[in-house]
Each structure stands twice: as structure tokens, then as C-alpha cells.
Amino acid sequence: MPLDPALADRIAASVAHGFAEQVAHTQALVRFGSTRGAEHAIQDFVLGAFRARGYATERFAIDAAAIAGHPGGARVADGHSEAPIVAGLHRPRGAGGRSLILQAHVDVVPPGPLDLWTHPPFDPVIDGDWLYGRGAADMKAGHAANLFALDALRRIGLQPAAAVTILSVVEEESTGNGALAAHLHGYRADAVLIPEPMDEALVRANTGVLWFTVEVRGRPVHVRAMGAGANAIDATYRVIGALRELEGRWNADRAGRPHFSDVAHPINLNVGRIEGGDWNSSVPAWCRVGCRIALYPGTRAA
């Protein structure tokens, strides 16, 4: 059923009325350096924001055993976040309508070298029409939008006719276990909207992600006799070259795949970390690279 134009205008005006407060809330979220494992404080803040609006709330830990028993679960290894999932629930006045989950994550990737930042990464700075800060786009702006969309309705005396759950999850940047944990905890709805920064497009399908580590062993000798040894770092570059060839084959295989055949490069291999060797004048005996590669839907991680 089409939305009444006059009502649409009222809602849009209410969104605009609350936008300055929404931006300020986004800035407050950005000030939390919520890298992996350090999301406890921001989740406390989110819980308070939900409670201040009168929503029923829940905070719960990721169930590692449930994750391990699910085919979509990623390994709960060292470094996995122990921060909680936070939920806020809007209960409608009566039964009816279709339920909705609005989900966003609070974890952000590390900021990298600080000297590459014009401003400190967790100092949200507005310059013109842009808000700068680690996590401002991915995805604290979307996190705030979920909450303030309901605020905009309340401001003009409206509310959703069905149950709406606002989920604030962790472990999005690494495993996806936060969203899965909420699902396994019992949070279900007729639809889910995740306002990730995707060029203002609706995304119907997405690639999966596989993280993996390659370790290469060499034969250490003094540099004066390097021909008698085996350089693990040199060998690792050849391994990376082979992985790039695999990446090329997988991208060539996009033809005929729904939602991916027209994407120029859906499968991206990223060599994100490299370390190796012990001494500048020793042929390195080891090298380790941490990588990420995309997977088409239906491809098993194995």
C-alpha cells in the first residue's frame, strides 16, 4: 500500500528536525574506540540510549558453543570479542503488521598509522557535509539512523504497528558471529534491514569472507652462503602470486551467477599482514601472511 504523500512529508520533516541530534549521537558513537574486543563501553552507551527511550532491552554474551554447532559459525579463536550483544524492542499497541529487525554493528577496524590521519581517528570532525572518524560510515551512521528513524515517528505521534527490534552487534568486521549469535538467541523477524554504507543501494546478495594464514618455512643460512639456503620470504611472494592467479580464475567464474555476473571484480583477495625472518643478515627461515578472500554464495569454506 503506497504511503500517503502528506504523511511521507510529515515523517521527512520530523527526520530533518531531529537530524542535528542524530549527528551528535553519531559523533558520540565514533568517540568510542570500539576495535575488536574493546566494544564493552560503547555497548553500555547503546543500552542506555535504548532504555532512555523506554524500549525493553536485553544484553547477552555470544554463545560460543551455539556458534560452533552452526554451519555458518566462524571459529571463536584467540582475539574473538567477548563484548555483549545489545537489543532494544519496540512493542506495538496491538497485534498486526509485519515485524522488523534493524541491525548495526559497533566494532570498527584498527585505525592504522596515526600520522596518516588529519585528525585523531576517534575524534569525530565535521568538515562541510562530511563527518570524519574511524567507524563514522562503517557503520555508526547507520547505527544511529536505526534509532533515530523510530525517534522521528515518535516525535509526530506515530509508532510501528508491529514489533521492531534494534540490534547492536559485535564481531562484524571479523567473523559475522555477532549477527549469528542474535539469530541463534531467538531474534527473528519478517524482514531485516542493515544500513551498511553501500552507495545508497539495496544489496540483495553478498559474498562470504574467508580469513586464512599461510606459513612458509625456509632453510636459514648466513647471507654470504644464501645460495645454499631457502628464503622463506622470497617463497612467500611466489605463494601470493599463485593466490592472485586463483583470484583471477574465481572472478572469471562470475559469468552467469545471479547478482554477480555484472560486477567487475566480486572476488577480492587481500594480503593484510606479513611478517617473517629474524635477522637482516640471515636467510629467513619463516614467513607468515594473513589473507582474506571473498567467496560466492553457496561456496563452502572448506
Partner residues linked to 56 by β-bridges: 89
Beta carbons within 8 Å of 94's beta carbon, 6+ residues apart: 161
Partner residues linked to 35 by β-bridges: 108
**Secondary structure class of 273 (helix, strand, coil):** strand
Among 39, 58, 63, 172, the one annotated catalytic: 172
**Known catalytic membership, residue 82:** no
Q: Are 100 and 161 within 8 A, CB to CB?
A: no
Degrees, nearest 5: CA angle 153-159-164:
105
CA distance 93 to 229: 75
CA distance 66 to 40: 21
For 260, other C-beta atoms within 10 Å of its C-beta total: 18
CA distance 70 to 76: 12
Q: Are 149 and 122 within 8 A, CB to CB?
A: no
CA distance 61 to 232: 41
CA distance 153 to 148: 9
For 150, other C-beta atoms within 10 Å of its C-beta total: 19
**DSSP structure class, residue 3:** P
**Secondary structure class of 105 (helix, strand, coil):** strand
CA distance 282 to 231: 9
Among 39, 58, 63, 107, the one annotated catalytic: 107
**Known catalytic membership, residue 172:** yes
Active site residues: 107, 172
